Structures are given as structure tokens and as C-alpha cells.
Chain A
């Protein structure tokens, strides 16, 4: 290569055509076993239980129950986000304690009142991933527990997380308990969902580790310190951040790295 090439080589890169990824956002009902919005003949039925802030499934139709709802003592229960999602696509009818049909409006109200451990943006994220075929469950809530009745407050986001983590702690391990509380004070980001890839042979009885844990960030991006804490906490399991604004759901991976020393 002549000296001209070395000298005249500029740093200009061709701007690549920006992908049309954002156009797909509107057509998000395409894959997996859930078909587009349509009038369904086989509609499942569930009864909303206010104490649990969940819907107990009384009649199951269709294959989606393999990856939807948590199982306690043989019964299946749906969180508010699962319930809303299924109602929106016409796959579920929900009744109240008096067997009266609950409207979509009433269920949106249940989401908004804050007692179901969920809020609008979390629901948007849930729906976005579910519609693409991902299996999504709340972080910290086991998919299936045998021989145990469902506990009131299972769906409270903070409650379930704390109780699961406290159960894992050895009582004598003081340092780790302190660390647990330190980690909990990480502001602004809280683990929302465990996400599994679609087409995985998902079984509630042994789901395995999620493909990643998803954090929803509301205000500002996480700091380096927060990310390092999360890397310590989750170990080998990847985690991602999701930012929801104006109905747009975006996902980012932030990870510590180290560029190699080159020859």
C-alpha cells in the first residue's frame, strides 16, 4: 500500500441504512401461538379475586396456559397483566365474585389502582414481549408451587421479591442480609420480569433460568455502580433495561466490558 493510501485514508464511514425496526412496532401480534385479534370460539374463563389481585382460572381453553399463569396447589392464577392481555385479544372472560362479567374498563381500573403490583408501563412491556411470543413472568414469583395454597399478597411486586430473597438467605449470614438491603435501596430500577425466549420448551414445573431478567427504568439510565451491583446479584443470568415512554418500549443492554490488549 502506497503512502498515499495511509495518508489520505479518512475516518469517514458510510452511514448505513437505518433498519426499519420501528415499523414493526405496530404489527406486534404476529408470532407464536397467539394469532391476531379475532373473535375466538374457545374463550377461557376466570374469576377475579380481589384479595389476591389475581384471576383464578376456572375454564381453560387453548394452548396458552402452558406459559401463562402461576400454579398453586393445582389451580392456575393470572396476574393483572396476563388477565388484561388475554382479555384484549379476546381469549378470556373474567367474572367477579358474584359471577358477573367484568368489563375491560373495570380491569384497567384494577391496574390503575395500584393494588395489583403492576402499573401501566409494566403492562405495556408485558404485552409487547408476549405478543412477540416471549414467555414473561414476574421476577421473584415461582411459576409453580405444589402443595401450597396461594398467598394473599403474592402479586404485590415488592412483597414477593422480598419474601423470595429472604427465603434464600441463611439466617446466620449477616453480611449477605446487609448486602441484600443495600441492593434493595438501588433507586429507580426494580426487577420486573423474567423473560424466556419463545420456542423454548417451557414448563412451569421446571422453567430453568430465564433468558434474561428485565428491569424497567423510569427516570434516568442506571449508573455504573448500579449495573455492577446487578451483575453481582444476577451472576450468569443476563439482564436488560427497558425504557417506556409515550407508548414506545425500548430495550437496552448495559454491560461491563474490557477491551482486549491488542498486539
Chain B
């Protein structure tokens, strides 16, 4: 599926402003400002100035909260987003409900306790973010994430992402039966997205600490519905070239 850019000039804008650079700027700015996030149940709240607010918006981390406060802006980060900033980008520290900064291990344990699939969910989030895709929640589409090639203002998301696991850590129960495949593919199709399953194998490393993550392996797979009524003329020949004559 080709990326669907929104309007003229969007693709050029995206090319001129690579996501990796925006994220890198966000990272520096957060480090410099020594920003602290406040852990509140399953969210992390951060209070930022205008410059950081702009970077968070442009890199698609968190959602802004509109408050009457004038010179500062509050943002609400999801679990995966917060942990990515803390653990992968090392640019944010999170203060727990007890008022103390949480170490990565403590934060990991805490987030796991809130969401048992967090380890594999995070692996998928970070896997895609590392490739500079924008990753947002996919809950409204019945999937785990949606992945965009750049900012959602510039491009429609191409992929609806479902996190699956195999091996010992098989927590996710999706797509075990055909009816779920039908359901998910149909829903994705009706919003013009391809279903992307990202399968995580923990390779028996368990999930005791975030350092386990680097031993997890990840495979991507697309699932598409094929309509024989439509494809009769359109398909090109077999991948390996022309038929024998």
C-alpha cells in the first residue's frame, strides 16, 4: 500500500523534516531541561514550556491537555511512550507516587503490574519507533497501535498494528480463530489500513527486567484479504517473471 499523504506539499514537508531529527531534538531538549514526569496510575504527566510542547507535538509523543495555565503546557504520555523516553532515549525521569524518581527497573515492574502484556507491547512500540515510524494507540480500531510514516497531520496511517507473541510468553489471544481474522481485517480495510501483525518471541528470556528486551526477536507480517472478483485483470504475473513459453 502506498502512503497516502494529506494534501499537496505534505510529502515534501515530511521529507524536509525527518522524524528522526525531530525526535532527536526532543531528546536533547528534555535532557537539557531535566524534565520530570509524574506517574499517575497508567499515565505520565509532564509539564513543559512552549518549545518542548512544540517538539512533543511534532514528534507525536503524548497528548496535550488543555488547561487554563498560560506559560506552561501539560502533556499526558502513554505507558509505552513514557518508557521509551526514559529507557530507550534516556531523556526523561519519572517520579513515582511516592515522590521519588523511579529507576528503569522500578518503572518496568510498575508498568508490568498495570498491564501484563506491557513487555511485548513495549517491544513492538520501540521496534517501530526505532525505525522512525510514528506510533500511536490503535484502540479505536480494535488494534494495539497505528503506525504513520510521519506526523498524522501530513499522512494517513498505513498500518493497523496488532501485537502477537509466541513462545513462553504467549499472553496475547488475538487471531487465534478465523472469525477474528475476518473481523480485524475488515475493520482495518474499512479505514484503509493494512493489518500488520508484529510477533514477539521472548526466547525464554522472561520479563524480569527491561534488559530482557534486547533478546526478544520480532517478526512483522501483513494480513490482507484477497478479493478474486476484483483482481482478475490487475495482478502482474508471478514474481519470478514470465511464464515458460
User: Mask for B182-212, Cβ within 8 A of A = 1, else 0?
Assistant: 1001100111100010010000000000000
Q: How far is the CA of A5 from the CA of B147 in the complex (A)?
A: 19
Kindly state whether residue B171 has any CB partner on chain A within 8 Å. Answer: no
Kindly state whether residue B99 has any CB partner on chain A within 8 Å. Answer: no
Instruction: Assign chain B's interface to a size class.
Output: 35 or more
| Chain B residues with CB under 8 A of A227 | 221
Q: How far is the CA of A197 from the CA of B232 in the complex (A)?
A: 6
Kindly state whether residue A181 has any CB partner on chain B within 8 Å. Answer: no
**Residue of B whose beta carbon sits closest to that of A128:** B228
Kindly state whether residue B157 has any CB partner on chain A within 8 Å. Answer: yes
Q: Are the CB atoms of B57 and A251 closer together than 8 Å? A: no
Q: Are the CB atoms of A250 and B240 closer together than 8 Å? A: no
Number of residue pairs spanning A and B whose beta carbons lie under 8 angstroms apart: 159
User: Mask for B49-70, Cβ within 8 A of A = 1, else 0?
Assistant: 0000110011000001000000
Instruction: Assign chain A's interface to a size class.
Output: 35 or more
Given contacts A237-B239, A262-B131, are A252 and B232 in contact (CB under 8 A)? no
Q: How far is the CA of A169 from the CA of B224 in the complex (A)?
A: 33
- On A, residues with C-beta under 8 Å from B are 1, 3, 5-7, 9-16, 18, 21, 24, 28, 31, 128-129, 132-134, 197-200, 206-212, 217, 220-221, 223-225, 227, 235-238, 240, 243, 245, 250-263
- On B, residues with C-beta under 8 Å from A are 13, 15, 18-20, 53-54, 57-58, 64, 128, 131-133, 136-137, 140, 146-147, 149-153, 156-157, 159, 164, 166, 175-178, 181-182, 185-186, 189-192, 196, 199, 219-233, 235, 237-240, 242-245
24 CB contacts below 8 A, A to B, read: A7-B64, A10-B152, A11-B140, A11-B146, A13-B156, A13-B191, A15-B191, A16-B191, A21-B227, A21-B229, A28-B229, A133-B232, A134-B228, A220-B176, A225-B166, A237-B240, A240-B226, A250-B182, A252-B223, A252-B226, A254-B221, A255-B222, A262-B19, A263-B18
